[in-house]
Amino acid sequence: MKRRELLRYGSAALGSLAAGGAVFSAEHSDDSVPIWIYEPLDGAEVAQRAYDLYSDGSCMYAAFRSIVGLVGEKRVAKHPGESAQWNGFPYYMMKYGKGGVHDYGSLCGILNGCAAAIALFVTERKDAAAITRDLFNYYESTELPIFIPAETKFGEITPSLSESVLCHISVTRWAVAADETAESPRRKERCKRLVGDLTAKAVEMLNAYFAAGKKCPARDETAWGGPALGCTKCHNPEGDQPQVNVKMNCAPCHDDLPPDHGK
């Protein structure tokens, strides 16, 4: 392709994007990169939307689309020219997170979807990381689910403490606590409610971040590596133990540590 044809093709492509309503960021050196502007959301509305979306594409899809889709609806209501940007988003790609990435049992799809939504709107990486870590810690340290949908045939669902962000640990701990199997309809209902809990919490954190002028609350980083363990006090570049790249709760896998370990 000749240089003149290349320039003409590039100009036409950018013109098509602009006509489609994409919003361009002056913060990026590549002006073809659209920005995604956050709008405050109601946590209860997001939770119910996430619960309803679960049946369409499971956990990660429901988490991501409930947040981003509602933000998009609010943005388009204010700025109709952005409709192509929001309505054209390939939400289906988020279905890969089901069951800890295609049922592999790794990172919980709900957390994966919420983290993706946070990263879409919070452009400062350290802030996105801080919010994500707080959300993950909430998941590890809170008995869930709490959310109750508008309509359900299951009644009360037993809450449990996962102490882990991994799908297989979270589901197994719930199954033991509820005396159910991992494949039972009530387990699926548990995860549907869990996506409501975590999306509502993610929205609460995003709302607070933007209301504070894009500032995160202060936190004690020594608490990472388990709420009570503080493993990274020793397992860090300056510590006297082998360095580990971790911020999750260590206890579920390292349950053979002596009582005074880390103290």
Task: Give residue-wise pLDDT tens across range 179-202.
Answer: 999 999 999 999 999 999 999 999
Contact 176, 201 (CB under 8 A): no
> pLDDT, tens digit, for every residue of 18-37?
444 445 443 444 455 568 99
Residue 231 has pLDDT above 70, yes or no: no
Tell me how many helices (H) and strands (E) the chain has. 7, 0
Contact 177, 160 (CB under 8 A): yes
In the chain, what are the domain boundaries?
A: 43-217, 220-263
Strand segments, DSSP code E, in 70-184 are none
Only one residue has tokens 């509502």, namely 200
- Average per-residue pLDDT for the chain: 83
The pLDDT, as a whole number, for residue 217 is 82
CB within 8 A of 53, min separation 6: which ones? 61, 62, 65, 66
What is the number of other CB atoms lying within 10 angstroms of the CB of residue 26? 7
Amino acid identity at 86? W
Which residues lie across from 166 on neighbouring strands? Answer: 107
Query: pLDDT-derived band of residue 262, with 50, 70 and 90 as boundaries?
Result: low
The pLDDT, as a whole number, for residue 50 is 98
Residue 16 has pLDDT above 50, yes or no: no
Dihedral angle, C-alpha 91, 94, 96, 101, nearest 10 °: -170
The pLDDT, as a whole number, for residue 21 is 47
> pLDDT, tens digit, for every residue of 151-169?
999 999 999 999 999 999 9
